[in-house]
Each structure stands twice: as structure tokens, then as C-alpha cells.
Amino acid sequence: MKMRHVVLFLGLVCSVALSLSAGHNQTMLMNRLGPSQMTLYIANADGSNERPLFAISGFDYNPSFSPDGKWIVFTSERNGSGEADLYRVHVDGSGLERLTDDPALDDQAAFSPDGNQIAFVSSRGAHNASIWILDLKTRKARNLTGAPALQAPAGKMNGFFRPSWSPDGEWIAFSSDRNFDFKPHVYPSPGWEHPQELSIYVIRHDGSELRRLTPAGVSDGSPKWSPDGKRIVFYELPTAHTFAARVYAQAMVTSQIVSVDVATGAKTEETSGPGLKVEPQYLSADRIAYLVKAGPNAGLAFTKGAPGMKASLRNPAWSPDGKQVVYEKVDFAARPQNQALYSWEPDMDVRYTDVFPRFSRDGKLAISDIKNLAVPTASISVMNADASNKKVVFSDKEGAAFAPTWSPDGQWIAFGFGGFFGARETKPAKLMMVSADGSQQSKDLTKGLPNSGFPTWSPDGKRIVYRVWGGGDYGLRELDLANGLVRTLTTEFDNFPAFSPSGDLITFTRRSAKTDDYDIFTMRPDGTDIKQLTTAPGNDSHSSWSPDGKFILWSSARYGFKDEAPLYDNSFQPFAQIFIMKADGSDQQALTYSRWEDSMPAIVPPAAQKSTTTRLN
């Protein structure tokens, strides 16, 4: 039973969340930055004669063919949004069969040459992405890359991705970011999200004789063997460009398709010129197919012969005879507010929300409406906790309105308005407040400089704490609403403050000058008694309090990437997952295990919980 797996899998998480539930089911809202739909298609090798693999799609992706060309194995979230398992189906869409049933991520499957086994990526066990082997007859799985000797030192990335069997079945090639540091990206402009450096490795099918084929200094991914087993083909791009390759800057990135001689290590560039080229595959000894992910020639491409179909598609895999190709198309249309998501915690209902959700004391929800992170605009909307009676209370196309926070009496909402994230270096931002009744009555609380935003209103209604950025002015500030005076609380790279329900503590995110990681801290409202709560590698951010003030929820990168970064789209932090801990920083446990960016958690307060549960059910 799936529920039994969940209980065994979460262990301490269940005890933490059960305490949080206080004897009844709890509802958590969270944002997920990822596709809203993924649909599999099958076509001729050049993309012509395209047709859906299924009459009704089930959020399916990462397909590949069996050696005899009769089956397609793929990943699906049809059991619940975010919970990924492996399935196989005949090429005509019949005979659907579920292969794995585990609450961990199972993804990126590849058949063995005899068709009896599947190598795949899973986050089972230690929660990082590892290569596993599934015996299709016994359905027993084993961790191929889980041996202690293969693991990176603590504090380093440690993911294993995209397995591919050698033609004789003796070896498995894969990419890995093992031993790479969690550090901020610098291209196309500096930011806190992590780049990823991948190298190509081979290992025997029994887990012995690990060998690295490509050196450090560049990022190499998606290896595939030549028909004779003597070469491996992959894509290659600068490590610094692996952030741009997964966001709106994809067209700025150039990669090449490269092959390597397995015996000698000699490399050959198989392509040239601009374009983000990924996921190559040998169709014959001298012809390679691949995907141009971005640019004017985006679509299927080949090193020889006629060009393929120009289209926006992802993760193509060609049949063994080279006559067919299967791939997915991705939809990023906005998810509906409060759409059901898979919950790994049996006593917690999980729902999607737009960004920066905040609840009033009486259970009203305020969010920032943002349709496209590449477009720097956002409005503020309020609604009931079940998403009913939604109304826009502030909208201005000249900037983004982010991080609403309620006055204790529920009459006003404060927020930051202007340029944020990448735009904060060049555009001003100010604090504003707007009437929560939709009358559009608003007023400024600060001027545009320094860039000010991400406010939190004190429970006594007297103060607003917010962050400033730019011109040598950084950290958290306190605005006294009675007299307009501003007091400095901190002067480091601090952000995302949040008052506890009782007002005795403020959580916030701080960047370490030593590691460049962001971690969760708490302090007293006067800026004293600062305590660091998280120390794990990778970024920790977007913290919020449980309604009773006993727990802190946040998003963390500590388990690393779940796939090759250049294969994502519109995903700034695909390594982010939701975590929960006690208010003193103890008992840190994950609540989500998807392959997507999960962040900005908010627990529905008791004032809204009953009506929310009733309406949603």
C-alpha cells in the first residue's frame, strides 16, 4: 500500500507534522515552479506525423524505447502532482503498466539491452539522486551508485543522472555533479541560484570499476553509447551557463554535441555553431540525433541528412531502428490557485498557491499574482483560504508587487513595489500599503531608494520590518508606523523576514560571507539574539511560521539537483524542497520530494482550516 510506504519513508517527518496538525488534518499551501502539464508524443524520426501517445495525458515525461522497440518506459505523476513513478506502455498507447510504487522520486529510466532490467534515477534512501537498477521480473531494485566510496564529501553536490547501458550490457554511463560546490551563479548576471558542473562516468552493472571520462571545468550531460560500444556521445557547455540554460536566458547559451573514445578518452566535437544543443543519441555509427533546445532552429536536429522538425519539445528518444521518436511537450500555463498536489505526509493536505502567500488573522489569503517570472510585473490579490471570492487589490504594470503582509486588524496589506531579484540592481523599490477591501486606496511607506521590499507586519500592528538592498545599504530595517522613523536591525545580506505569531521572534534569510550559502536565522524584534538555524549546504530560504508559532517551514537545496540543470525550463531552483523544523531549529525534516522547485510554504490557520477543508472536499 502507498500509505505504508509513506509512513516508513518519512519517519520523523510524520511525528513533526502530526504535532503541527494538533489532532486534525492540516492544509499547506506552497508554490511549485514547474510545468502545469506534460504530454507525450510519438512521431517519425524527423518529427513528422506527430500524434499523442495517450488519448488522455497523465503528466508524463522522460520517455525512452525498449531494445525491441515495442515498449516505451516513462515517468508519470498521474498518481499525484509531484509524486513521480515509472510506467511502461506499448508504442500504440496500449498495455499501460506501472513499474514502481515508491514515495521517492523515480525518473529517467533506460532499458538494459536484453530488456530485463531498467536503470533509473531515484531519490530513495539518502534523498539525493542516485542510479538504481530494477529487475522487471522480480521488481526488486538496488542502488547502483549508493556505495559509500562513491559518495562526495559532505557539503558537496552528489547527484547521479541520465543512465545509459552499453550495447553489451556490461557498463552503464551516466552524468554526475558529485564533488561540485554549492555556489551562486554569475551568468547572465550574478544571483544566488546554483550552477551545476556535470561529468560523464561509466560503471559496471554490478557497481564496480567507476571511471570518470570527462574532466572538470565544463558541464557534460546525457551520455549515450555508440552502436559498437566504443564511443559515448553527450552535450557540453560552460559550467557557468547551466543557470541560464534552464531559465529565460536559454537563447544566450551555446553548447556542442561531443563524443569521447571510451578506451582513450579522445574527444571529438560533432557539431558547431550557436544554439543550446542537448540530449544526443546515435542513430547509426556516423549519424547522431539531438535536440536544439532554444534559438531560431529549436527542434530536432541531426549531424547528417535532412533537418528535423522545428518545434518546442523536450527529452526526445529515438527507437532502436531509428524510425520513430518519442518526446514530451510542456505547458507552463498558470496552475489554478489551490490545485491539489501530492502530499507525502498522510495527515497533511497540500495545495498549490501563487507566490508569497500570507494569511490574515481571520484566515483571508493574500498573494502576489505573477504569470511569468521573466516579466517583472505582479499584482496583489486577496481571497478566502479556499481561493473563493478572489479580488485584485493592487495592480500597476510599472513594477512588481511582492510579498504582501497583513495588518493585525486585517484592514491593510503592506508589500514591496518596484524592481526585485535581478532587477533590484537597476530599479528602485518602495514599501506601500493598500486597503484590503479592494477600494485601491494606497499610500507609500518608503521612498524608492534604497531598494526596499519583503515586509512583515508586527503582530501588535506598530512596526513593519523589511529588507533594503543597494548602494552599500543592506540588511533589515524596522519602520515605526506611528512616527515614520526607520531603525537599522541588521547590515548583512539579509532578506525575507517573518514575524512569529506571538511577535517575539523574526525569521530571516542571511547569506554567509564564507560559503555564499543562504541560511535561516532568527532574532529578537530589536535585532538582538541572532541564531543560525540551518547549516546544510545549498540555499535555505522562504521561511514561514506555523499558526501556533512552534514550527518553521522553509525551502532547502540540501538534497541537490534531481536532474541535469540544462534540461529544465523556467526553473530557477529545481533543487528546492519544502522542509519543517521546530522553532529552535531542531528536528529538520523534508515535507516534499518532487523534481521541481517547491517553495513559499504557508499553513492554513485554524480560522480558515475548517471551511477550507469542507469546500475543497
Q: Are 150 and 181 in the same domain? A: yes
Q: Are 14 and 159 in the same domain? A: no
Nearest-angstrom CA–CA distance, 184 and 470:
18
In this prediction, residue 24 has a pLDDT band, given cuts at 50, 70 and 90, of: low
In which residue are the cell numbers 532490467 written? 117
Identify whether the C-beta of residue 358 lies closer than 8 Å to the C-beta of residue 365: yes
Domain span including residue 503 = 2-31+336-616
Q: Is the pLDDT of residue 14 over 60?
A: no
Q: Is the pLDDT of residue 211 over 60?
A: yes
Q: What is the pLDDT of residue 2?
A: 39
Domain boundary among 331, 348, 364: 331
Q: What is the pLDDT of residue 83?
A: 97
Percent of the chain with pLDDT over 70: 94
243: alpha, beta or left? (left if phi > 0; alpha if psi -120 to 50): alpha
Nearest-angstrom CA–CA distance, 222 and 251:
20
Most distant pair of Cα atoms in the chain: their distance: 78
Vertex 98, ends 96 and 101: CA angle to 5°? 165
In this prediction, residue 614 has a pLDDT band, given cuts at 50, 70 and 90, of: very low
Q: Are 276 and 402 in the same domain? A: no
Q: Are 389 and 297 in the same domain? A: no
Question: What is the number of other CB atoms lying within 10 angstroms of the CB of residue 79?
Answer: 17
In Å, how far from its chain's centre is CA 141?
A: 26
Q: Is the pLDDT of residue 5 over 80?
A: no
Q: What is the pLDDT of residue 20?
A: 56
Q: Is the pLDDT of residue 421 over 90?
A: no
Q: In this predicted model, what pLDDT tens digit does every residue of 561-612 receive, in sequence order? A: 999 999 999 999 999 999 999 999 999 999 999 999 999 999 999 888 755 5
Q: In this predicted model, what pLDDT tens digit does every residue of 369-415 receive, in sequence order? A: 986 655 668 999 999 999 999 999 999 988 889 999 999 999 999 99
Q: Are 530 and 590 in the same domain? A: yes
Identify whether the C-beta of residue 46 lies closer than 8 Å to the C-beta of residue 309: yes
In this prediction, residue 215 has a pLDDT band, given cuts at 50, 70 and 90, of: very high
Domain boundary among 277, 301, 331: 331
Residues 6 or more apart in contact with residue 222 via CB below 8 angstroms: 162, 175, 234, 235, 278, 279, 280, 564, 567
Give the DSSP H or E segment for 14.
Answer: helix 12-21
**Cis peptide leading into residue 566 (ω within 30°):** no
Nearest Cα residue to 352 out of 543, 81, 556: 81
Q: Which residues pair with 364 in a beta bridge?
A: none
Q: Which residues pair with 350 in a beta bridge?
A: 28, 341
Q: In this predicted model, what pLDDT tens digit does every residue of 351-372 receive, in sequence order? A: 999 999 999 999 999 999 986 6
Q: Backbone phi, then psi, for 164, in 5-degree steps?
A: -145, 130
Q: Is residue 286 packed enough to be buried (19+ CB in 10 Å), middle (13-18) or exposed (0-12)?
A: exposed
DSSP summary character for residue 514: T
303's grid cell: 549531424
Percent of the chain with pLDDT over 90: 85
Q: In this predicted model, what pLDDT tens digit does every residue of 475-532 receive, in sequence order? A: 999 999 999 999 999 999 999 999 999 999 999 999 988 888 999 999 999 999 999 9
Domain boundary among 297, 331, 365: 331
Nearest-angstrom CA–CA distance, 600 and 454:
13
Mean pLDDT of 15-19: 45
Q: What is the pLDDT of residue 472?
A: 86
Q: Are 420 and 521 in the same domain? A: yes
Summary mean pLDDT of the chain: 92
Q: Are 12 and 42 in the same domain? A: no
Q: Backbone phi, then psi, for 264, in 5-degree steps?
A: -105, -20
Nearest-angstrom CA–CA distance, 283 and 322:
6
Mean pLDDT of 174-197: 94
Pick 497 or 192 by higher pLDDT.
497
Q: Is the pLDDT of residue 15 over 60?
A: no
DSSP summary character for residue 181: B
Q: What is the pLDDT of residue 3?
A: 36
Q: What is the pLDDT of residue 372?
A: 62
Q: Is the pLDDT of residue 17 over 80?
A: no
Question: What is the number of other CB atoms lying within 10 angstroms of the CB of residue 139?
Answer: 10
Using alpha carbons, list the distances in angstroms from residue 514 to 183, 347, 469, 511, 521: 11, 39, 20, 9, 16
Q: In this predicted model, what pLDDT tens digit does every residue of 76-126 receive, in sequence order? A: 999 999 999 999 999 999 999 999 999 999 999 999 999 999 999 999 998
Nearest Cα residue to 161 out of 125, 127, 119: 119
Q: How many helices (H) and strands (E) does the chain have?
A: 3, 47
Q: Is the pLDDT of residue 8 over 80?
A: no
Q: What is the pLDDT of residue 424?
A: 72
Q: Is residue 69 packed enough to be buried (19+ CB in 10 Å), middle (13-18) or exposed (0-12)?
A: middle
The total of structural domains in the chain comes to 2
Q: Is the pLDDT of residue 12 over 70?
A: no
Pick 613 or 41 by higher pLDDT.
41
For residue 495, the domain's CATH number is 2.120.10.30
Nearest-angstrom CA–CA distance, 49 and 79:
30
| Beta strands across the sheet bearing 340-341 | 340-341, 348-352, 26-33, 597-603
Q: Is the pLDDT of residue 338 over 60?
A: yes
Nearest-angstrom CA–CA distance, 532 and 552:
13
Q: What is the pLDDT of residue 374?
A: 56
DSSP summary character for residue 452: E
Q: Are 569 and 582 in the same domain? A: yes
Nearest-angstrom CA–CA distance, 165 and 110:
7
Q: Are 404 and 423 in the same domain? A: yes
Q: What is the pLDDT of residue 406?
A: 98
Q: Are 414 and 296 in the same domain? A: no
Q: Are 240 and 363 in the same domain? A: no
SS3 74: strand
Q: Is the pLDDT of residue 423 over 90?
A: no
Within 13 A of 546's CA, how many CA atoms are on the CB side?
Answer: 20
Q: What is the pLDDT of residue 18?
A: 39
Q: What is the pLDDT of residue 412?
A: 97
Residues 6 or more apart in contact with residue 248 via CB below 8 angstroms: 373, 374, 570
Q: Label the pairing between strands 348-352 and 26-33.
A: parallel
Identify whether the C-beta of residue 282 lies closer than 8 Å to the C-beta of residue 225: yes
Identify whether the C-beta of residue 105 lies closer than 8 Å to the C-beta of residue 574: no
Q: Are 318 and 371 in the same domain? A: no
Nearest-angstrom CA–CA distance, 252 and 14:
44
Q: Where are the alpha helices (DSSP H) in 214-284?
A: none
Sign of CA dihedral 238, 148, 136, 228: positive
Q: Backbone phi, then psi, for 21, in 5-degree steps?
A: -70, -25
